[in-house]
Structure 1
Amino acid sequence: MRRRGFAVNDQLTETGLTAVGRARETAAGGEPSCRLTAMPTARFDRDLPPSRVGAISAAVTRIEEALTARG
C-alpha cells in the first residue's frame, strides 16, 4: 500500500468479492483507517488503470474533507 498508494483484497476474505482501498491520512497519534470500495470480482480489472486509482484517491480526499468539516 505504501509503494502504490492503494491495496487490493482479491477474494482473500470473501469468495467473489474484491476490494480496493487507500489509507486515510491521520494526525500524529490519530486512529489509522482506510477507505475502500468493494465490487464483485467479475467486475474487477486486475490491471487497475491509474485513472481508477486517481478516482479512489479523490474520493478519499473528499471524505476526509467532509469529516474534517463536521468536526
Structure 2
Amino acid sequence: FDNAKPSGTVVHMYSGLNRPQCSVLTQLCTSHIGLTAFLYHFHLAPSPDCPLCLVPEMVSHFLLQRLTLIMQ
C-alpha cells in the first residue's frame, strides 16, 4: 500500500455513500464482485457465462446489457 491520498475524483465518487454502497462500488470498479466470470475463476461457478445471455458475465455486461434486459 502507498500512503498517497486518494485523488479528488475518487473522493467525489465515494462522497455521500454509506459503507455498503462504497463496498459495492469498489467491487464494481475492480471487477471483484460475485458475478459468474469472477466466481468461475476461483472454481465457485460451473461456467463464466451469464445464465440469461450465455456470454461471460462481467461487470460491463451486467451493467450495460443484462440490466437493460431486466428493465424491459
- Higher helix share goes to which structure? 2
Q: Which one has more relative contact order, counting CA pairs under 8 Å at least 6 apart? A: 1
Q: Give the TM-score, by structure 1 length.
A: 0.30
- Higher strand share goes to which structure? 1
Larger radius of gyration: 2
